């Protein structure tokens, strides 16, 4: 029996592999490769597959899993932290974009209702493509990544009322007030479901699943929670993407959230590819060839207008110009949920067939350009910041009240107050080391300043901000932000202002290690390699390699820029005495039971070394440790005896410790 969907999947996977291999050689983002796959295989390309309901369902599952994973990584706590960006930033971006598109459509002669509908289409951006691109670049937790996500969340919420007003714009009778009341009621119920699920239901379900120690049970539990929440929220009229994000937020409050993320990641990557391929299938070559100048002009206009509006909104929220530029360029495309809205517009006569095809062409082109735009955004921001712009614009339109210049000396400057920044601050506070924090998230600054932290708002790429932190008197500068381009600029600026300061920079990417060293960093900590060092240290300790040799080995690995982990085995560090000592020995601790035959016997009487080739290293008694004990020491109940020897020999001695039937252990063996 022939299964049409199986044929479509084979075509998509096979063609995707070929296209992605070419894209990889040309350093083209994988998202563009999937879009090209859809363009080639779709009905407007070679016609290998048609856009049918089955492929659309697979694409929707991909969006669900992508947003579910993002929700798990983000967590409810982080969402509450950006609530201002969601409510104020999102509403301003949607409202201003809608008005701008409405005015432009009216200027070109569109009717009022059609112009308003076109404004709705232009107001939303692509949640899937933006978040996928930011994930691949590890920028979801950067200021611009968090702000972009906040605005996207509001856009997904705004789709619901946009769908509600579509029939009204078409002149069809509808009770708008009743619909709004019903929408608010559904929203309240949905919030309650999220709260109750996150606090009570999901942790209990996942805890029971984990207790089974079955991978299958746990995986099915995670997927069931995700799909159940998505189904429930979709019944309230919420988009699938927003429902999936809420499901991820619920799971993020569970202790097993990271395990859940690891289980669904392979499924997410596979199904997300269907979404990008399905978007590529929508583009009609004929429209591109018929009206190339019009499509190019509209595409450029959309990208510029949406970038300016989203960037301006970000600046109004208090973020510096650099973050505003990055956020604006990130949200410059038209979103996938506009396709659903556009179909509804065609059904209600708000969008002609020609305008619908034109809209699809412009939307898909802006989506295809998004990975390239996000990649080039840091360079664009650096270029714009070289212009003689007003300081108020550069620092943000809602600056936090400035504090006095830092007067501390010999202090630590912590740049970035994420997880690593907070840990550095805690350690400095515990060691009574003076420190000051520089952070460019205005909400974080307000909150932490109220908690008594020595934190102030500013973008540390600017000399004035570093001067405010008294960089010239600082002893250590710690740069722990997620923006690689900004990290390089901060390190260079700090080194130029205070060449004697010890600059420590953290990076998540190996390619950034050398550039950071070149611009002045004294130490660069790549997260992945530090994890490897820590693991290998434990391995060396297990093999009883002397501590000083381990320290020398680690020091050489770090001093060599982690070359050992980046090169072939022949390039390993040259510590001469790094050898495995006694690989057949282990150190064990045996507890002396009250009925043990060893109780009351001296070490000399037991003669464990002579009889069993086991050495007593130490005896712990009442919180006191006797290292290298003498032979007259007698074993007492509740002692802990540290033994060194062959595992089999130690096992024999352990049997003697626990066997009360042996009356005279000094005669055993």
CATH of the domain at 355: 1.20.1530.20
Among 667, 661, 651, 662, smallest CA distance to 605 is for 667
Which pair of structure tokens corresponds to residue 562? Answer: 């982690």
The whole-number average pLDDT for the span 126-149 is 84
Tokens of 535: 């693991």
Q: What is the pLDDT of residue 399?
A: 54
CB-based burial label for 241 (10 Å; 0-12, 13-18, 19+): buried
Count of CB atoms situated within 10 Å of the CB of 406: 21
Structural domain boundaries, residue 653? 586-667
pLDDT for res 300: 94
Instruction: Indicate if 364 and 416 belong to the same structural domain.
Output: no
Residues 487 and 358 in one domain: no
Residues 490 and 626 in one domain: no
Helix or strand (DSSP H, E) at 526: strand 523-526
Which of 12-26, 184-198, 432-446 comes out lowest in average pLDDT? 184-198
Contact 217, 206 (CB under 8 A): no
Residue 336 clears pLDDT 70, i.e. is over it: yes
Q: Tell me: pLDDT of 663 over 50.
A: yes
CA proximity to 486, closest of 147, 144, 130, 148: 144
Residue 545 pLDDT: 67
> For the residues 151-163, what does the mean pLDDT come to?
84
Residue 313 pLDDT > 80, yes or no? yes
> Which residue do the tokens 């007259």 mark?
632
What's the token pair of residue 139? 């920028």
Averaged over 396-410, what is the pLDDT? 63
Contact 489, 444 (CB under 8 A): no
Report the C-alpha gap between 269 and 111 in whole angstroms: 42
Is residue 12 situated within a structural domain?
yes
For residue 540, tell me if it sits in a domain: no
What is the DSSP code (8-state) at residue 602?
B
Q: Which two tokens stand for residue 421?
A: 């920044």
Residue 530 has pLDDT above 80, yes or no: no
The token duo for 37 is 């796959």
User: Would the pLDDT of 572 be above 70?
Assistant: no
Mean pLDDT of 402-407: 59
Q: Cβ distance 243 to 31 under 8 Å?
A: no
Mean pLDDT of the chain: 81
- Note whether 70 and 20 are same-domain residues: yes
Residue 211: CB atoms within 10 A of its CB come to: 10
The rounded distance, in Å, linking the Cα atoms of 520 and 504 is: 10
Counting residues of the chain whose pLDDT is more than 90, the rounded percentage is 16
- If asked whether residues 338 and 253 sit together in one domain, one would say yes
187 and 106 within one domain: yes
- Is residue 668's pLDDT more than 60? no
281 and 373 co-located in one domain: yes
Whether residue 568 has pLDDT greater than 60? no
Residue pair 128/275 in contact (Cβ under 8 Å)? The answer is yes
Per DSSP, the residues of 292-340 read HHHHHHHHHHHHHHHHHHHHHHHHHTT--HHHHHHHHHHT-SPPTHHHH
More confident residue, 667 or 177: 177
CATH number at residue 634: 3.30.70.1450
How far apart CA 16 and CA 35 sit, in angstroms, is 9
Residue 556 is encoded by which pair of tokens? 């050489």
CA distances from 489 to 49, 188, 481, 516, 520 (A): 48, 45, 12, 9, 10
Q: How far apart are CA 270 and CA 491, in angstroms?
A: 39
pLDDT for 4-57, tens place per residue? 778 888 888 899 999 999 988 888 888 888 888 988 888 888 888 876 677 778
CA separation, residue 650 to residues 565, 608, 665, 668 (Å): 36, 10, 15, 14
- Note whether residue 551 is domain-resident: no
**Domain-embedded: residue 508:** yes
Of 301-305, 318-322, 395-399, 513-517, which one has max mean pLDDT?
301-305
- Specify whether the backbone of 412 is left (phi greater than 0), alpha (psi in -120 to 50) or beta: beta
Give 153's pLDDT tier (boundaries 50, 70, 90): confident
Asked if residue 438 and residue 378 are part of one domain, the reply reads no
- Of 629, 10, 127, whose CA–CA distance to 367 is shortest? 127
Return the higher-pLDDT residue of 47 and 303. 303
Number of domains in the chain: 3
Do the Cβ atoms of 101 and 118 come closer than 8 Å? yes
Instruction: Report the CATH number at residue 464.
Output: 3.40.50.720
Per-residue confidence at 595, pLDDT binned at 50, 70, 90?
confident
- Give residue 528's pLDDT band: very low, low, confident or very high (50, 70, 90): low
Check whether 272 has a pLDDT greater than 90.
Answer: no
Q: Report yes or no on 655 lying in a domain.
A: yes
pLDDT band at 576 (very low <50, low <70, confident <90, very high): very low
Among residues 294, 335, 331, the alpha carbon closest in space to that of 309 is found at 331
Least confident of 122-136, 380-394, 441-455, 581-595: 581-595
What is the Cα–Cα distance from 70 to 131, expressed in whole angstroms? Answer: 8
Distances from the Cα of 225 to the Cαs of 74, 201, 534, in angstroms? Answer: 17, 10, 35
pLDDT over 90 at 330, yes or no: yes
Question: Does residue 402 lie in a domain region?
Answer: no
Per-residue pLDDT of 499-512, as tens digits, reads 999 999 988 777 78
pLDDT at 91: 92
In Å, how far are 594, 597, 633, 663 from 660, measured between CA atoms?
9, 6, 21, 7
Last residue of a domain, one of 472, 488, 521: 521
Question: Does residue 448 share a domain with residue 366?
Answer: no
Question: Does a structural domain hold residue 399?
Answer: no
Same domain, 364 and 505: no
Q: Does residue 505 lie within any of the structural domains?
A: yes
Q: Does one domain contain both 228 and 275?
A: yes
CB 616 within 8 A of CB 608: yes
CA distance 297 to 301: 6
Task: Decide if pLDDT at 331 tops 90.
Answer: yes
Given a cut of 60, whether residue 288 has pLDDT beyond it is yes
CA angle 500, 506, 509 (to 5 degrees): 130
Mean pLDDT is lowest, of 29-38, 54-63, 529-538, 636-645, for 529-538
Distance between CA atoms of residues 118 and 113, nearest Å: 9
256 and 358 housed in the same domain: yes
Q: CA-CA distance, 35 to 30, in Å (whole number)?
A: 9
Closest listed residue to residue 350, CA positions, set 112, 77, 518, 56: 112
Residue 623's pLDDT band (cuts 50, 70, 90) = confident
CA distances from 439 to 294, 436, 471 (A): 43, 10, 15
**In whole angstroms, what is the distance from residue 255 CA to residue 356 CA?**
47
216-265 pLDDT, tens per residue?
888 888 888 888 888 887 877 777 777 888 888 888 777 667 677 777 77
**pTM: predicted TM-score of the whole model, two decimal places:** 0.69
Q: Using 50, 70 and 90 to split pLDDT, how confident is the model at 205?
A: confident
Return the axis-axis angle of helices 127-136 and 53-81, rounded to nearest 10°: 70
Say yes or no to pLDDT of 628 above 70: yes
């Amino acid at each position: 029996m022939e299964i049409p969907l199986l044929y479509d999947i084979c075509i998509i996977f096979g063609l995707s592999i070929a296209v992605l291999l070419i894209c990889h050689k040309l350093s083209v983002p994988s998202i563009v490769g999937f879009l090209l796959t859809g363009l080639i295989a779709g009905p407007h390309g070679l016609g290998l597959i048609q856009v049918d309901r089955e492929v659309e369902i697979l694409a929707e599952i991909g969006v669900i899993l992508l947003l579910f994973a993002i929700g798990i990584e983000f967590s409810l706590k982080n969402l509450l932290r950006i609530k201002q960006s969601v409510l104020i930033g999102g509403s301003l971006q949607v409202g201003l974009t809608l008005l701008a598109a409405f005015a432009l459509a009216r200027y070109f002669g569109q009717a009022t209702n059609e112009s308003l509908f076109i404004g709705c289409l232009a107001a939303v951006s692509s949640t899937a493509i933006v978040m996928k691109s930011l994930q691949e670049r590890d920028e979801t937790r950067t200021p611009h990544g968090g702000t972009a996500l906040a605005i996207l969340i509001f856009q997904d919420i705004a789709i619901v009322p946009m769908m509600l007003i579509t029939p009204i714009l078409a002149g069809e009778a509808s009770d708008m007030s009743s619909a709004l009341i019903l929408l608010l009621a559904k929203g309240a119920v949905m919030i309650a479901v999220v709260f109750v699920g996150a606090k009570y239901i999901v942790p209990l379900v996942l805890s029971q699943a984990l207790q089974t120690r079955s991978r299958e049970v746990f995986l099915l539990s995670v997927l069931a929670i995700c799909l159940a929440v998505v189904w429930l929220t979709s019944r309230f009229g919420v988009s699938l993407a927003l429902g999936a994000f809420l499901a991820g937020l619920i799971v993020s409050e569970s202790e097993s959230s990271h395990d859940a993320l690891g289980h669904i990641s392979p499924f997410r990557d596979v199904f997300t590819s269907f979404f990008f391929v399905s978007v590529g299938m929508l583009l009609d070559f004929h429209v591109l060839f018929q009206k190339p100048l019009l499509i190019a002009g509209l595409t450029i206009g959309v990208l510029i207008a949406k970038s300016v509006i989203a960037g301006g909104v970000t600046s109004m929220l208090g973020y510096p110009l650099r973050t505003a530029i990055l956020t604006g360029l990130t949200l410059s495309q038209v979103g996938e949920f506009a396709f659903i809205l556009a179909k509804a517009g065609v059904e209600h006569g708000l969008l002609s067939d020609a305008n619908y095809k034109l809209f699809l062409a412009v939307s898909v082109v802006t989506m295809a350009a998004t990975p390239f735009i996000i990649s080039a955004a840091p360079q664009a921001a650096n270029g714009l910041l070289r212009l003689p712009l007003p300081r108020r614009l550069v620092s943000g339109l809602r600056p936090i009240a400035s504090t006095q210049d830092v007067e501390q000396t010999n202090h630590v400057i912590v740049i970035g107050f994420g997880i690593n920044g907070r840990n550095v601050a805690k350690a400095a506070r515990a060691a009574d080391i003076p420190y000051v924090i520089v952070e460019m998230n205005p909400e974080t600054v307000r909150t932490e300043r109220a908690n008594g932290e020595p934190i102030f708002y500013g973008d540390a790429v600017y000399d004035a901000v570093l001067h405010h932190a008294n960089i010239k008197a600082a002893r250590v500068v710690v740069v722990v932000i997620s923006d690689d381009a900004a990290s390089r600029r901060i390190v260079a600026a700090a080194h130029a202002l205070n060449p004697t300061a010890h600059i420590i920079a953290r990076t998540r990417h190996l390619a950034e290690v050398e550039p950071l060293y070149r611009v002045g960093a004294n130490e660069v900590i790549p997260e992945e390699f530090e994890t490897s060092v820590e693991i290998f240290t434990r391995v060396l300790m297990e093999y009883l390699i002397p501590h000083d040799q381990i320290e020398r080995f680690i020091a050489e690995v770090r001093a060599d820029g982690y070359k050992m982990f980046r090169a072939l085995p022949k390039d390993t560090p040259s510590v001469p005495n790094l050898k495995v000592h006694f690989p057949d020995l282990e150190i064990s601790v045996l507890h002396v039971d009250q009925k043990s035959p060893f109780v009351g016997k001296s070490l000399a009487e037991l003669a464990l070394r002579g009889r069993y080739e086991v050495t007593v290293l130490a005896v712990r008694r009442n919180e006191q440790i006797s290292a290298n004990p003498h032979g007259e020491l007698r074993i007492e109940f509740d002692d802990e005896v540290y033994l060194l020897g062959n595992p089999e020999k130690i096992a024999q001695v352990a049997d003697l410790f626990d066997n009360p039937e042996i009356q005279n252990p000094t005669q055993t063996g």
